[in-house]
Amino acid sequence: DAKTTQPPSMDCAEGRAANLPCNHSTISGNEYVYWYRQIHSQGPQYIIHGLKNNETNEMASLIITEDRKSSTLILPHATLRDTAVYYCIVRVVDDKIIFGKGTRLHILP
Amino acid sequence: KAGVTQTPRYLIKTRGQQVTLSCSPISGHRSVSWYQQTPGQGLQFLFEYFSETQRNKGNFPGRFSGRQFSNSRSEMNVSTLELGDSALYLCASSSSTSGGLQETQYFGPGTRLLVL
């Protein structure tokens, strides 16, 4: 079973920041938080990952709470192409990825 | 670098047949994982291969099998196809080693299998 809980869907206005929450209250000390997204019928695309520090790359920022029980993926300036299902995953090194149901993000024009 | 490639992209089979899907990982990647995605069950892990050995396995029946070649290319086989095997089959590769370093998995576009 997936170890994460995400809202099933969210809306965000184009050009605004999209903040996608994820709860992972049972995360272990050696588990990383990963985010992937899947645009309709394509393979999942890696976005970002982190252990306990906040991370930023060209696609997004990842904010992990100090107790590591939740995190937020931030897409700073959402565009219509960001419409996708976003998966938050926790996993240990070299372990399989267990996907939950994810959050379906709708970007509104 | 070229991404993960999967062939064929689309496939139609009938019940009882068998099918073989192919995955070529990103150059230099030695770990290959397979996933099944259906509308009802979502994305489910099938198995992972590293250096020609199966390292992790999901909860699928023995009809689902795989292998990895010395060049890291991988195939998965489904025998005695059932209607419920209709799905998008995704392959992912990573530069994961057995040394405990965390590495990101990169997914291919998938093979869409339809069983009639």
Instruction: Report the chain A residue with the minimal C-alpha distance to residue B91.
Output: A43
Token representation of residue A109: 């024009």
Instruction: Tell me whether the omega of the peptide bond preceding residue B39 falls within 30 degrees of 0, making it cis.
Output: no
Selected residue of A35, A62, A94 to mutate for chain B interface (largest B Cβ count, 10 A) = A94
pLDDT in tens, B58-71: 899 999 999 999 99
Which residues of chain A neighbour B110 with C-beta distances below 8 Å?
41-43
- Residue A94: its pLDDT value, please? 63
Task: Tell me B98's DSSP state.
Answer: T
First to last CA, chain A: 35
Q: Which of B43, B55, B109 sits opposite A99 (nearest CB)?
A: B43
Q: How confident is the model at residue B104 (pLDDT cuts 50, 70, 90)?
A: confident
User: What pLDDT score does A40 carry?
Assistant: 85
What pLDDT digit, counting tens, does each position of A38-76 carry?
998 788 898 999 999 899 999 999 999 999 999 999 999
Mark yes or no for CB contact A97/B33 under 8 Å. yes
Query: Could you report the per-residue pLDDT of B33-56, keeping only the tens digit for each?
Result: 999 999 888 889 999 998 899 988
pLDDT in tens, B71-92: 999 999 999 999 999 999 999 9
- Is A49 in contact with B55 (Cβ distance < 8 A)? no
* Segment A12-45, tens digit of pLDDT: 999 999 999 999 999 988 889 999 999 987 888 9
- Statement: residue B16 has pLDDT above 50: yes
Which residue in A4, A46, A97 has the most chain B C-beta atoms within 10 A of its own C-beta, making it the best mutation to test that interface? A97
* Whole-number pLDDT of residue A14: 97
